[in-house]
Chain A
Amino acid sequence: MSNPDIRTPDPGRTELWKNAAEIDAAIARMVDELTVLLARQGIADPLMIGIHTGGVWVAERLHRALGLHEPLGHLDISFYRDDFTRIGLHPQVRPSCLPVGIDDRHLILVDDVLQSGRTIRAALNVLFDYGRPASVILATLAERTGRELPIAPDVVGLRARLERDEQIKLSGPDPLVLLRGQTPRKPAGKSDLKDARSTPEEDPRAGTGSDPETNRP
Chain B
Amino acid sequence: MNTPNPQLDAQGHLKHFLTIEGLSRELLTEILDRAEGFLGVAQQAVKKVPLCRGKVVANLFFENSTRTRTTFELAAKRLSADVLNLNISTSATAKGETLLDTLHNLEAMHVDMFVVRHATSGAAHFIAAHADPHVSIINAGDGRHSHPTQGMLDMFTIRRHKPDFASLRVAIVGDILHSRVARSQILALTTLGVAEIRVIAPRTLLPSQVEEAFGVRAFHDLSEGVRDVDVVIMLRIQRERMNSALLPSEHEYFHLFGLTEKRLSGARPDAIVMHPGPINRGVEMDSQVADGPRSVILEQVTNGIAVRMAVMSMCIGTQTLNSQGRGEFLNG
How far apart are the CA atoms of A8 and B328 in the complex, in Å? 14
Chain A, residues 15-30, CB within 8 Å of chain B (1/0): the string is 0000000000000000
A166: min CB distance to chain B, Å: 16
A24: min CB distance to chain B, Å: 30
A97 touches B40 (CB 8 A): yes
Q: Find B329's partner among A86, A95, A96, A129 (CB 8 Å cutoff).
A: A86
For B46, the closest partner residue in chain A by CB is A129
Assuming the contacts A88-B320, A88-B321, A89-B313, asked whether A125 and B50 have C-beta atoms less than 8 A apart, the reply is: yes
Q: Which secondary structure characterizes the binding site on chain A?
A: loop
How far apart are the CA atoms of A183 and B321 in the complex, in Å? 21
Of B31-39, B90-98, B157-165, B169-177, the segment with at least 4 beta carbons within 8 Å of chain A is B31-39
Contacts of A95 on B, CB cut-off 8 Å? 36-37, 39-40
B30: min CB distance to chain A, Å: 9
A79 touches B51 (CB 8 A): yes
Interface residues of B (CB under 8 A from A): 33-34, 36-41, 43-46, 48-51, 313-314, 317-318, 320-321, 324, 326, 328-332
Among the interface residues A88, A93, A94, A95, which one has the most CB atoms of the partner chain B within 10 A? A88
B283: min CB distance to chain A, Å: 37
A195: min CB distance to chain B, Å: 18
Contacts of B50 on A, CB cut-off 8 Å? 79-80, 125
Assuming the contacts A79-B51, A129-B46, asked whether A87 and B34 have C-beta atoms less than 8 A apart, the reply is: no
Interface residues of A (CB under 8 A from B): 7-8, 76, 78-80, 84-89, 91, 93-98, 125, 128-131, 184, 187-188
B190: min CB distance to chain A, Å: 26
Contacts of A89 on B, CB cut-off 8 Å? 34, 51, 313-314, 317
For A97, the closest partner residue in chain B by CB is B40
How far apart are the CA atoms of A141 and B304 in the complex, in Å? 39
B317 touches A88 (CB 8 A): yes
A129 touches B48 (CB 8 A): yes
Assuming the contacts A84-B51, A89-B317, A130-B44, asked whether A76 and B330 have C-beta atoms less than 8 A apart, the reply is: no
